[in-house]
Structure 1
Amino acid sequence: MSSQGRAPTKNILTNFASNTSAHGISKLTDKNGILLKLMWLLLLLGATGMIVYQVFGLINQYKRRPVNTQTSIENTQLTFPSVTMCNLNPVLNSEASKYNMYHVIERVAKYLNVPLSDFTNTDAAPSSDNYNFSDVNFQTDDPLDESILEFQLEMQSFSFDGLEEISQKFESFVISCTFGGVDCDNGNFTVTFDQDYGLCYTFPSKSENQTQGNFIFNAGPLYGLKLILNVDQNEYLPFITTSAGVRLQIHEFGSRPYMLELGQSLSTGFETQIGVKPVVYKRQPHPYGTCDDSGKYESVLECERNCLATLIEDSCGCTRQQQQEDDPDLEMCGSKNIPCIKDIIKEKQSGKIKCDVACRSTCRVYDFQKQVSMTRWPANHYDPAIKFKVRKWAENFKTDVFNDENSRDNLLSINVYFSELSLQTIEEEPAYEFASLLSDFGGQLGLWMGISVLSICEVLELFYLLMANCFKPRPRVSSSSVTDLKS
């Protein structure tokens, strides 16, 4: 037989079994009895089965992409959060009465059979005779709720400058403001618009040149933001504003507030102490989690609001957003669109309609743990001091909205501060990565058969030899050998 010819496959396999570093395989080629060879064959098959079983379990665990959650607390200086506050009354009653939006209130007054003369500051209100109320039928089953939504839609039709003219001014809203014991004024606040509460004020102000907030080096009420606010109930809108107080939200500096969803309502006649402690949540994106790391939305609430606005625009043909960049010709929603808007909200709530893109929580969420305490304010024996302070304030701004009885009806005190100077971070990290999978995979191979990476290389070499042997020519039988066989 020529040395270049094809070798018997049995010889190649026998040579591999005799020389491989994998345990147990060489026992199949030893000159042992058939019973021992059969025993080792069963052991090898059993070990191979256990390897396959364990490896599939490891792969399934890796495909689940588990995460571990770690919590760390760092004591450090902190950036004071943004504090946004809105009067629950979005528009002054005396100013609203000068505009066509007041027909909403007049229609409710006629429906309830309540004269507007029962309310203060309605002397300038147009007479109901100026409006054609052939009937007072409403489009939905809840006239009061419908009227509130209709008034909000009318309010949104105003420009930002127009709203500043008819809403409560900062000077009449904020009676006293101190931050860390230092007085603050309207220059420390930014004016924003909220579609539910009208004009709101955010402390501290944020401009293009100011990218960082105020650093806090001490915890406690003495180093926080202390406010005395005047909601001026004499100017509350009849039938539209349902409660007296302010809406307040504490959020990360520079971020957008969501007053309706995340704000808390604070009542007049109370002092509210709010101690906050920041918490940062860091989640893993795909494939370990489902959070959104695209950066398209600041929060899941922004996505949800954008989704609802898009559904209203597509179905009702109008928009509730003051600035519509995609379609500047899209008209603002009005009273005629209220049934459609309510139907969209109900269908979205019931799951009949959904957004084109599922809204997911962002991978980084900055939140605050809050400790809130409230006490009746001012105390009876402290009331004269507050009234003295209010009178001095009223003299400066030439206003007279207070008397000796109504301080608790119009005023509230708020103190926002860090309860402790610590930043808590709750972070997800992969619990089982590819390196761990390889390590466990190698452990199973070594445990059951003593196989290493080099042993796997030997198997690859075996496949190479078998394939190469297939392409070699078969051995030829010489003519002399044939003659010898015939003889």
Structure 2
Amino acid sequence: MIAMVHDNPQLPLIDSAGMALATEFKHRITYTKKIISYLRSPYSTCNDKILPVMLAMLDNYQGAKYGYSEDMLRIMHSTAHVFLTSSYLLEKYCSYCPQQCFVTNFNIKPSLWKTPPTWLMDDIKTFLENSEIPLSIDWPTNWRSHIDSSYLSVELVYESTLIENYTQIATMTAVDALPNVGGQTGLWIGVSFLSIMELAEILY
């Protein structure tokens, strides 16, 4: 069994980010959530819009509302390099993988212990025999080994309800840049607005 903790808009990349879970154990997955927000244009080229090349794939997930994923786009592009032999097609569909503006990460702490406990075996046996699950021919004699080899339990627990938020903030805007440049030039070379006007008057 493969398990993965992800946010609702995140497309689960089971092959690369999934965690394998073995039978005969109870698995506890403890997690904390972290959100990283990057500056948008003009400070970066980050993107939240789903590109057409991803829309074609996401149409197969009926009812799911997945967001843009830079990792997914890179995986699709690496696969496309195998099938697209034309340099024009490669340039058209695989030339640009913009950075995500929002990235959600989950820090995972897995743990496990042997299950099922002895006191639970009879209840599991009764449940299976009264269900419609097909049982093996040697079930009457080897039912304990069958339960041991098939039983798996997963418990998902949040370590903290607090969410870490890392947000990029512009320390200087376009409005701040003009007086900053003027102040620096005035400090280092003695240039001021009045001296610039006087120079313009002399020249013209």
Give TM-score, length-normalised by structure 1: 0.33
- Which residue number in structure 2 is paired with residue 392 of structure 1? 127
Query: Secondary structure at the residue paired with 1:267?
Result: coil
Distance 1:282 1:454 in 2: 42
The counterpart of 2:114, out of the listed 351, 370, 376, is 376
- Which residue number in structure 1 is paired with residue 60 of structure 2? none
Q: Which amino acid aligns with 1:421?
A: T
Paired residues of 2:32 and 2:107 also in contact (CA < 8 A): yes
Q: CA deviation at 1:390?
A: 4.5
| Residue 18 of structure 2 corresponds to residue 248 of structure 1 | no
Q: CA deviation at 1:282?
A: 1.3
Paired residues of 1:279 and 1:366 also in contact (CA < 8 A): yes
Query: Secondary structure at the residue paired with 1:445?
Result: helix
Identity %: 20
- Which residue number in structure 2 is paired with residue 276 of structure 1? 31
Query: Secondary structure at the residue paired with 2:164?
Result: strand
Distance 1:359 1:427 in 2: 21
Q: What is the correspondence of 1:71-470 to structure 2 with a 5 Å cutoff? A: 246-285=1-40, 288-296=43-51, 298-315=68-85, 356-378=94-116, 382-401=117-136, 403-448=143-188, 450-464=190-204
Q: CA deviation at 1:393?
A: 3.9
Query: Secondary structure at the residue paired with 2:33?
Result: strand
Q: Which amino acid aligns with 1:278?
A: K
Greater relative CO (CA pairs within 8 A, separation 6+): 2
- Which residue number in structure 2 is paired with residue 185 of structure 1? none
CA RMSD of aligned residues (A): 2.8
Distance 2:125 2:200 in 1: 89
Q: CA deviation at 1:287?
A: 5.1
Q: What is the correspondence of 1:29-68 to structure 2 with a 5 Å cutoff? A: none
Per-residue deviation, residues 48-107 of structure 1 (Å, max 9, x unmatched): xxxxxxxxxxxxxxxxxxxxxxxxxxxxxxxxxxxxxxxxxxxxxxxxxxxxxxxxxxxx
The verdict on how the C-alpha distance between 1:264 and 1:360 changes in structure 2, with shifts beyond 3 A counting, is farther
Alignment: residue pair count: 179
Distance 2:129 2:197 in 1: 90
Q: Which amino acid aligns with 2:131?
A: N
Distance 1:361 1:444 in 2: 34
Larger Rg: 1
Q: CA deviation at 1:248?
A: 0.7
Distance 1:361 1:442 in 2: 34
Q: Which ranges in structure 2 are unaligned for 5 or more consecutive residues?
A: 55-67
Query: Secondary structure at the residue paired with 1:444?
Result: helix
Paired residues of 2:10 and 2:69 also in contact (CA < 8 A): no
Q: CA deviation at 1:394?
A: 4.0
Give TM-score, length-normalised by structure 2: 0.72
Q: CA deviation at 1:398?
A: 4.7
- Which residue number in structure 2 is paired with residue 213 of structure 1? none
Paired residues of 1:290 and 1:360 also in contact (CA < 8 A): yes
Distance 2:2 2:135 in 1: 24
